[in-house]
Chain A
Amino acid sequence: MNKVFGVALGVLTAIGGFVDIGDLVTNAVVGSRFGMSLAWVVVVGVAGICVFASMSGRVTALSGRATFEIIRERLGPRAALANLVGSFAMTFLTLTAEIGGVALALQLLCGVDPRLLVVPVGLALWVVVWRVRFTVMENAAGLLGLLLVVFLVALVVLAPDWSELGRQAVSGVPSTESPVTYCYYAVALFGAAMTPYEVFFFSSGAVEERWTRRDLGLSRLNVLIGFPLGGLLSLGIAGCAAAVLLPAGVGVASLSQVVLPVATALGVVGLVVVSLGVLAATTGAALETALSCGYALAQYTGRPWGKLVAPIRAPHFHVTVAGVVLVAALLLLTGIDPIMVTEFSVVFSAVALPLTYLPILVVANDPEYVGDRTNGPVLNAVALAYLVVILVAAVAAIPLLVLTRMGA
């Protein structure tokens, strides 16, 4: 029974980590403008995160080493430092977006100006990191994040023309949009699905939960249920936007438009449920990104990290996490738009992808770390193909951002 519970909790962990403010906003924007014509990117992205997260889970369970320690050992201190600076910046930007998302979700629930909420939200996040046990934190956020299933319920209640959604999914670029903008959003969706912090968090979380060889099955189950379910929720968000916002010609510029289709379908109850779901998902993601900043820096320098020990046992880690939360909250106080930060962060995370995923692939083939459980030829072929896609997305991201003026 304990084991079943462990699996269930682990699965929730992965769901909580997948659907964050970046996925919510990007999928709704895409659904409202492109219908389901970019749904294939979500499928490709989910399969990609499954491939690499399962590798890093296996490496961690067998060697007890988290991703960033391995990146430094394998790429050397210079390339790893470049990666650290890049992914730390992206993760910090994502954290800023998530804190803004928490404030916006609270605004939906109680109508308070989000800027007034930023500091209390930051303080609350810090208290959770400082005091709450890792598993409690993860499971609370994951369980409540499941409320986002309401997007799928709403889609069914809306009873859209399914054949029309299906036709959109295979029709390519819609006639109303340019191919360059289409490519820009394809890269954004791919970046949102494969954000590097998911792997840092997944592997560090595995160390925090003390995974060993016996947990290999648990790791695989986490990945194979959690991430695809997250992908399904993403498609539900895009589907809702395609069913309600696209025909009405409504563009997504705020979180209230993201949840509008749910309110249309299910009324006030739906609105409350979806707002709570968004609150839980963004809170979970804010915690994951804040911790990931601490994990990455501590693992690069080799210092102790994690929530398994009292803060005095990992002082640099706790100072880093508190510092990034503070700076992110201050940044939001200047009045920058969290939705814009979100769109920036998902595109830039596409740039940081190759340096994160290459070392994982290398180490998953190294018997010194994984013993006899190295990658098979099929997995290696798939992973290499993904690295090519990741590289193309990384190279194309910034030019597309400039060319389309952020998808305008």
Chain B
Amino acid sequence: MPDRPLPPHPVADGRVLDANIHLLDRAVLDRDGVPVLAVDDVEIDWPDDGGPVLLTSLVLGSGLTSRFFGAHQPRHTRLTVDWREVVDVGSAVQLGADRDDLDATWHERWLRDRVVGRIPGGRHDPR
């Protein structure tokens, strides 16, 4: 993170969100309201030319260790969801996408297809 101070808060129409309070550690739901993962971290684009600071994506399911220990995780190893996918921020962050289309849930698909789905009854809907 650059050492220069944060730019002043832009006075703009719309809702002001505090990344710490409204985004970090919140649950993320997909378009059907199914939980995806929690927001482990956020990616912020911080242009050197002094242009506007932009929140570009949410880090899901992979950013906790670097947040705890301060390491800089290489970008390509982070599992992210683009901010454009976010349709609403309430007591949870709502996405417009289907959770199965997201890169961030790949291990879950692996566990589902290779382990849980192969055990008899794994596909049985209890309702």
Contacts and interface: CB of A to CB of B under 8 A. Distances in A.
B111 A319 contact: yes
Which of B40, B112, B126 has its CB near the most chain A CB atoms (within 10 A)? Answer: B126
B68 A309 contact: no
Interface string B5-40: 000000000000000000001111000001111111
B68 A315 contact: no
Interface in B78-127: 91-92, 108, 111-112, 115-117, 119, 121-127
Contacts of A76: 25
A312 B117 contact: yes
Contacts, number: 83
A65 B35 CA distance: 11
Contacts of B64: 77
Given A315-B115, A315-B116, A319-B111, A310 B38 contact: no
Contacts of A131: 121, 124, 126
B91 A133 contact: no
B24 to A, nearest CB: 8
A315 B37 contact: no
A318 interface: yes
A371 to B, nearest CB: 11
Nearest to A78: B68
A302 B27 contact: yes
30 contacts: A65-B91, A72-B25, A73-B25, A76-B25, A77-B68, A130-B119, A131-B121, A131-B124, A131-B126, A133-B126, A133-B127, A134-B126, A301-B37, A302-B37, A302-B39, A303-B37, A304-B35, A305-B35, A307-B126, A309-B125, A309-B126, A311-B123, A312-B116, A312-B122, A313-B34, A315-B108, A315-B115, A316-B108, A319-B115, A369-B91
Given A69-B38, A132-B126, A300-B38, 19 more contacts: A65-B27, A65-B91, A77-B68, A130-B121, A133-B127, A301-B38, A302-B36, A302-B60, A307-B126, A311-B116, A311-B122, A311-B124, A312-B116, A313-B34, A315-B116, A316-B108, A318-B116, A319-B111, A369-B91
